[in-house]
Structure 1
Amino acid sequence: MQTVLIVIHLMVVLALVGVVLLQRSEGGGLGIGGGSGFMTARGAANTLTRATAMLATAFFATSLALSLLARYGDQPTDIFDRMPTTQQGAPSGEGGVLDQLGGEDTPPAQAPEPAQPQVPSGQ
């Protein structure tokens, strides 16, 4: 289901990019050339505007569907479900999640005393 929705989403994205590029901009855009018929200035604007609106709606719908599938599809996992717990239901360890990560258990070293200036000996 998700793969089919991704393929549809990609096709909508490519079509949306194509339709936006075909629209006439202030400088003429890719709608180069004149003539009459199906793609006249007024008819093209109406057709391309409607196509852009429909493709944008389809884009938002497929994006929303993909995000809902990602959230509620299969089995949503929570990081706290994978943590080992004690009998009371609290995470094991005394200090919390950061203490379970490991590391050195040695106490912090004391700061060294500042060095004393040496007095030159008289000769």
Structure 2
Amino acid sequence: MQNVILIIHLILALCLIGIVLLQRSEGGGLGMGGGGGVMSGRAAATALGKLTWLFAIAFIVTSITLTILAAARSDSSSVVDRITDQPPAAEEPAPAEPASDDLLPPAPVSNAPVVPQAAE
């Protein structure tokens, strides 16, 4: 059941993308470039506009249906609860001891300026 609705949902998403791309651009953002846009008093009632609304409503309905189905199939516990219920992982072995040369402190570095010696 959930797979069928998911396939319908994906087909509706592709149809919605296609139908929006087929519509005529009105120039500015939010329909500012001409008549019949989002911000105007009267929207254009074209076939593409009606089809866009139909696909959008069907897309929202399938989204809500998938959400309800997923919530019904999920456990009542939280993901955080599942993480804390697991036993701790086995401790990793300690790293090998470094060689005796690695234990010596680094050679001191002098920050004094280098002064050339006069030639005799």
Q: What is the TM-score when the length of structure 1 is the normalising length?
A: 0.49
